Structure 1
Amino acid sequence: MQYRQLGKTELQVSTICLGTMTFGEQNTEAEGHAQMDYALEQGINFFDTAEMYSVPSRKETQGSTERIIGTWFKKTGNRDKIILASKVTGPFGLYQLDRGPFDFSKEQINAALEGSLQRLQTDYIDLYQLHWPERKMNMFGKRGFAYDPNDPWVDNFKEVLHALDELVKAGKIRHVGLSNEVPWGLMRFLQESERHNLTRVVSIQNPYNLLNRLFEVGLAEMAIREKVGLLAYSPLGFGRLSGKFNRPGEDLSKARINLFKQYTRYNSPQCLEAVEKYLQIAEKYGLNPTHLALSFVNSRPFLTSNIIGATTMEQLKENIDSIEVNLSEEVLREIDAVHAAIPDPAP
């Protein structure tokens, strides 16, 4: 396994991070425990979760992922071997949690954190992330920014950082990260932390894969120069880039992209065309399509960690093995040629 520095902290996190959002929905507790056992054996020391997981989020299963991680901590005593990341849910109409209103007020951040700590059976979280911004902006497949003059949000970056800073000083969280954020939001958080000597953002968790390289526009340079590295999620584009959807005879009845029809980001004709071209590159150079996609993400200089997720041990092993694959300059040039012809078909 390889390791990279988490922001400006002293923490070294594995380049492969275990994503856990299937625990409690597509994976049982026993399967989740087995995945964590194997990941740790392979040198993975970084797990990512959220208070709203499993996904898709339902009131009946909300928090199930954290509970499964918590029972694994209790059973194995491995809490001190894991750098643990979780998230507080922001305002978004699709989710039902046992608290509210969903905002980043001090009261709601504290309530969310206490719930996570209880489920996780731990007294601290290493990286606590804002799952998405409070304000209306372009995320989750929205390519453009549609300004809403009636958006009730007010600039509260300083207040949010104050609430998180208090939790850092109390020892309940060690570091702070963002998710689904854009350059302006990251800039404002960095400004306020510097102006008021508050805890500094150390990471940003955004989608990044061969079908969505929008992070490179604006955020990549910030990630490198400000040392706020990317935690890349959906590196396989909901499994599209594994190539399994293009092979006849595969049993895909349990695949997320088929089970949960509401997730349509990777279903456009442009996505399918781009995927086919990437599969042809993999075939030409004798590469596993999964390894091609994940190794590309691993190779990015702005990456801190690549969040992989799996529903089977076979998938998990295949994903983790990507750390051993290095793409040649020829392969990278052909990838960039496809990207130039079909740029970011899954925003």
Structure 2
Amino acid sequence: MQYRRLGESGPEVSSLCLGTMTFGEQNDAADAFDQLDRARDAGINFFDTAEMYPVPARAATQGESERILGRWLARQRREDVVIATKVAGPARGLDWIRGGPLALDEANLRAAVEASLQRLGTDYIDLYQIHWPERNQPMFGQWRYDPSSERECVPVRAQLEALARLVEEGRIRHIGLSNEHPWGVMQFLRQADALGLPRIVSIQNVYSLLSRVFEYGLAEMCHHERVGLLAYSPLGFGHLSGKYLGVPPAGARLTRFPAFGKRYARPGVRPAVEAYAELARAHGMTPATLALAFVYSQDFVTSTVIGATSREQLEENLAAREVVLHPDVLAEIDGIHARHTNPAP
């Protein structure tokens, strides 16, 4: 397992990060503990969760992923693992979280941190991330900025100052963003540098063969500003495993929750998946291995957030880190990308 520093001043994290968004919904506690133990055995020291997990988000299960992770964490040496979690922002209809997370102001941030600490059973959070911006911006499959949807929101400076106080108090150690765009990243960096506040060390954004938008502007920015990418959904909600090309398997996420992950319901997704699956098989590997190895190989990816609903899936995710794609395969991938460009941005 490789270990890389998160951003300029963050902790050393494993190149794979185990995500927990299925814990408490598709995976019960026993399954989750088995995955967590296997991940530690493989050298993973980095675990990602969120206050809204598991998904699909609902009031009855909200926070259960953190609770399960916290019960496992109690059996570990705390200093040996890096725990990341996220605060839910507004505009997503999650009215059962803090009575509706209406803003990322200090009161909401503080309440969210304290609740996550309690569920995780720990005194501090290594990486605290804003799950999505409060402001108007296209996200989760939207692709066009609409200035007519502008609304009042807590300024970036106020969000950063509130997070800085939580860092000073020892509640959190480092801060990061998620589902962000270049303007937002630079606002957080500019304000931090101008005011002597903590710099973000990471951005957790979607990155896969179906969505390479990160390469357009954020890759350059994060390189120069030393912000680490935590790439999530490297298998495109399971589509890049090829399992949805035939009869959807029983128990799979999109079999159980067909309305979930709408960005992957676009008409361009299936032909792209078919092309990548054909390429993988032509080179003697599974479609999932090709997709994962591609993401793992990118020099701008600090850590890839993997997730699984079975031990078999987790083992394939782990094994793919040993696969080095030949330059000819990478060239063929770029050829498919040119024909099927970002069908699920």
TM-score, with length taken from structure 2: 0.97
* 2:273 pairs with 1:275: yes
Q: What is the aligned partner in structure 1 of residue 176 from structure 2?
A: 177
Q: What is the aligned partner in structure 2 of residue 88 from structure 1?
A: 87
- Give the one of 250, 255, 270 matched to 2:252: 255
TM-score, with length taken from structure 1: 0.96
Distance in structure 1 (CA, Å) of the matches to 2:309 and 2:4 = 26
Shift of 1:98: 3.9
User: Residues 125-140 of structure 1: matches in 2 within 5 Å?
Assistant: 125-140=125-140
Distance in structure 2 (CA, Å) of the matches to 1:202 and 1:179 = 11
Give the share of equivalent positions with the same residue, in percent: 52
Shift of 1:221: 0.5
Q: Deviation per CA, 1:193-241, whole angstroms, max 9, x where unpaired?
A: 0000000000000111000111111101011111111111111001000
Residues 101 and 108 of structure 1 are in contact (CA less than 8 Å); yes or no, is this contact kept in structure 2?
no
* 2:167 pairs with 1:168: yes
Q: What is the aligned partner in structure 2 of residue 147 from structure 1?
A: 147
Q: What is the aligned partner in structure 2 of residue 22 from structure 1?
A: 22
Q: What is the aligned partner in structure 2 of residue 300 from structure 1?
A: 298
Residues 117 and 124 of structure 2 are in contact (CA less than 8 Å); yes or no, is this contact kept in structure 1?
yes
Distance in structure 1 (CA, Å) of the matches to 2:194 and 2:92 = 33
Q: What is the aligned partner in structure 2 of residue 190 from structure 1?
A: 189
Q: What is the aligned partner in structure 2 of residue 205 from structure 1?
A: 204
Residues 136 and 150 of structure 2 are in contact (CA less than 8 Å); yes or no, is this contact kept in structure 1?
no
Q: What is the aligned partner in structure 2 of residue 105 from structure 1?
A: 105
Structure 2 unaligned spans of 5+: none
Shift of 1:93: 3.1
Residues 136 and 148 of structure 1 are in contact (CA less than 8 Å); yes or no, is this contact kept in structure 2?
no
Residue 114 of structure 2 aligns with an amino acid whose one-letter code is E
Q: Could you list the runs of 4 or more consecutive aligned residues of structure 1 that deviate by over 6 angstroms after TM superposition?
A: none
Partner of 1:276, secondary structure, is: helix
Distance in structure 1 (CA, Å) of the matches to 2:147 and 2:309 = 38
User: Residues 232-243 of structure 1: matches in 2 within 5 Å?
Assistant: 232-243=231-242
Distance in structure 1 (CA, Å) of the matches to 2:13 and 2:264 = 29
Partner of 2:90, secondary structure, is: coil
Shift of 1:183: 0.1
Partner of 1:266, secondary structure, is: helix
Shift of 1:95: 1.9
Paired residues in the alignment total: 343
Distance in structure 2 (CA, Å) of the matches to 1:98 and 1:152 = 21
Residue 209 of structure 1 aligns with an amino acid whose one-letter code is S
Q: Deviation per CA, 1:47-80, whole angstroms, max 9, x where unpaired?
A: 0000000101110000000000111122x23432
Distance in structure 2 (CA, Å) of the matches to 1:10 and 1:132 = 21
Q: What is the aligned partner in structure 1 of residue 223 from structure 2?
A: 224
Residues 224 and 301 of structure 1 are in contact (CA less than 8 Å); yes or no, is this contact kept in structure 2?
no
Q: What is the aligned partner in structure 2 of residue 313 from structure 1?
A: 311
Residues 94 and 100 of structure 2 are in contact (CA less than 8 Å); yes or no, is this contact kept in structure 1?
no
Distance in structure 2 (CA, Å) of the matches to 1:274 and 1:150 = 34
Residues 52 and 97 of structure 2 are in contact (CA less than 8 Å); yes or no, is this contact kept in structure 1?
no
Distance in structure 1 (CA, Å) of the matches to 2:179 and 2:49 = 15
Q: What is the aligned partner in structure 2 of residue 59 from structure 1?
A: 59
Cα RMSD for the two superposed structures: 1.3
Higher mean Cα deviation, 174-183 or 140-149? 140-149
Structure 1 unaligned spans of 5+: none
Shift of 1:10: 4.9
Residue 342 of structure 1 aligns with an amino acid whose one-letter code is H
Q: What is the aligned partner in structure 2 of residue 72 from structure 1?
A: 72
Shift of 1:150: 5.0
